[in-house]
Structure 1
């Protein structure tokens, strides 16, 4: 395997600091630069992911010659901003800024930037794909706006901030996320994509992953990982997720490894 180097990253979005970590291979740099991967975490998450889901995968990809950037959205993790002020529009601006930063890095090939999102990060990845124009798009257990209907007390938008287990969830976030249409954005993108979803996911039903795969087009790879939950919290599930994801991002065929999934 190619050795790797890791370094902290800071860039500004609308006057606030975004904090991330960049994973760089240390082998001989290709003439056109390394391919790159931008990773988006989920709702109330952080750049490392549940049980270091993103950290470990970023290291795997860097060891195989792909630069990986994982970062905290504003209002999350180590980045500046308040969670009460988070909106999907602000998060999409963060995605655009991070993609621009990564494409401008002297060690990356700007034409080969792939985008990976988990849960809400998957929703945001699909929503931003037409604008970011990734080389490849990979969704892990992607959410749909319907996920957030559970946070509408009495079916109504809250008047102000509600306490979500210590997270100050603001009304503007809920208003914004319910207006998004990531499936429509996915249909309008038309690039190379894959969806990985646990078939025992109780947070984001596997049917949502199937909807994304259908919206992304007939060439989209879809893997329903048997007995896996929303965060793939089992070592065997993680190994399957990482193996399939790595093969997809490196342009290798998954046909022999994917379970047969009927398409409607």
Structure 2
């Protein structure tokens, strides 16, 4: 495995600062290690990780930084960051909409494209839960080298928040999270499956993969199947995997299969 450098990352969207952590593989001498560890001439490939609804760059039980370190150890640079209003980034969660998070993801993608030592043509995207919606909508704009979805959500997940079929006129209290009327108006009208299909078609058959736990009661496995059908790609079922993959065995398989995909397997 390659050693990696980790450094604080920051970039701005509409005057607000977003913060994250950037993991970059380090070169080393083959005389010291079993792998050559040589950076490709065009630079390391990379991936941007996008967290889910009410989530942050750490992910549930550190899913995202652990994946990032495994990827960096195998020659793939990685950025995980907090969208505006989440984690330690600036902004208020009451301003959060999917469109804003798409903007944040595009900015994160461009940040990676301009990092020294990284290949600007091999930047990938991974979205977790609502992040699956976000990266599906962002893909047509940024044209990722590969697209990975973990337990992707669909807009219908938020329909129960529309009591009686009406959008609340003010901020809703969702377990202490301020959910705006704008978020609810927008999210239920989004078409991420169509966006994912359009990206795949525009790429002449984009390279994508869906990873979904078969015990997910938040976003049922059917969601993952529908994304895979839209993308024309494989869906990897994670046995016993809940929405946040809450067991050693499901987490290990999730990491193994995701790393294999993002490193070219």
Once the two structures are superposed, the pairs formed by residues 151-166 of structure 1 within 5 Å of their partners are 151-166=161-176
State whether structure 2 residue 31 is matched by structure 1 residue 16.
no
Q: 2: CA distance between counterparts of 1:138 and 1:26? A: 24
What's the CA shift for 1:150? 1.6
Q: 1: CA distance between counterparts of 2:142 and 2:247? A: 32
What's the CA shift for 1:30? 2.2
Q: 1: CA distance between counterparts of 2:160 and 2:52? A: 16
Q: 2: CA distance between counterparts of 1:21 and 1:73? A: 13
1:177 corresponds to which of 179, 184, 187: 187
Q: 2: CA distance between counterparts of 1:55 and 1:34? A: 18
SS of the residue 1:245 aligns to: helix
SS of the residue 1:196 aligns to: strand
Aligned residues: 250
Which aligned segments of 4 or more residues in structure 1 are displaced greater than 6 angstroms?
Answer: none
What's the CA shift for 1:198? 0.5
Q: Deviations over 1:120-175 (max 9, x none)?
A: 00111111111110000000000000001121122210001011111111110111
2:225 corresponds to which of 210, 220, 233: 210
2:105 corresponds to which of 95, 119, 125: 95
SS of the residue 1:20 aligns to: strand
* TM-score for both structures, normalised by structure 2: 0.93
Provide the alpha-carbon RMSD of the alignment: 0.8
* TM-score for both structures, normalised by structure 1: 0.93
Once the two structures are superposed, the pairs formed by residues 86-125 of structure 1 within 5 Å of their partners are 86-125=96-135
Q: 1: CA distance between counterparts of 2:117 and 2:77? A: 8
State whether structure 2 residue 209 is matched by structure 1 residue 194.
yes
SS of the residue 1:176 aligns to: helix
SS of the residue 1:138 aligns to: strand
What's the CA shift for 1:180? 1.1
Q: 2: CA distance between counterparts of 1:110 and 1:238? A: 30
Match of 2:250 in 1: 237
2:61 corresponds to which of 51, 63, 73: 51
State whether structure 2 residue 92 is matched by structure 1 residue 82.
yes
- Could you list the runs of 5+ residues in structure 2 that have no partner in the other structure? 28-37, 201-205
Match of 2:31 in 1: none
Match of 2:35 in 1: none
Match of 1:261 in 2: none
